[in-house]
């Protein structure tokens, strides 16, 4: 299962506090089958895996959950306020 760093859980919780219609982030496979997208979400879709960690929720669609099963999601906010995410291999 995808693991989340403290940075990511803090980002998701802050987004949910600041924008009430966002309760989570959703990671989904793009139509090309090769890329992933991350977007704000207010609910899980039918085939989503729900990851809850330290008060943060991430929804991951079926195909993406397979690919991400041994990964860790990290993130940060740059000086301009842009959120950036990175994937790494779980130890």
pLDDT at 31: 86
The Cα 81–Cα 35 span in angstroms is 24
Indicate the average pLDDT of the chain.
92
Consecutive H or E run containing 83? strand 83-89
pLDDT at residue 33 tops 80: no
Domains and CATH numbers, the chain: 3-89 (2.60.300.12)
CA–CA distance, 83 with 91 (Å, rounded to integer): 24
| pLDDT confidence of residue 27 | 95
Q: How far does the chain reach from its first CA to its final CA, in angstroms? A: 13
* pLDDT higher than 90, residue 48: yes
pLDDT average, residue stretch 53-68: 93
pLDDT at 2: 93
- Using alpha carbons, select from 50, 38, 33 the residue that is nearest to residue 82: 38
pLDDT at 32: 87
* DSSP for 8-33, written as a single string: HHHHHHHHHHH-TT--EEEEEE-TTS
Check pLDDT > 80 for residue 12. Answer: yes
């Amino acid at each position: 299962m995808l693991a989340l760093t403290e940075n990511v859980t803090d980002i998701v919780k802050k987004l949910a506090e600041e924008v009430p219609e966002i309760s989570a982030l959703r990671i989904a496979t793009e139509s090309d089958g090769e890329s992933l997208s991350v977007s704000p979400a207010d609910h899980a879709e039918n085939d989503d895996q729900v990851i809850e960690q330290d008060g943060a929720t991430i929804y991951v669609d079926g195909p993406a959950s397979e690919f991400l099963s041994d990964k860790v999601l990290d993130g940060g906010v740059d000086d301009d306020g842009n959120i950036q995410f990175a994937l790494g291999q779980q130890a």
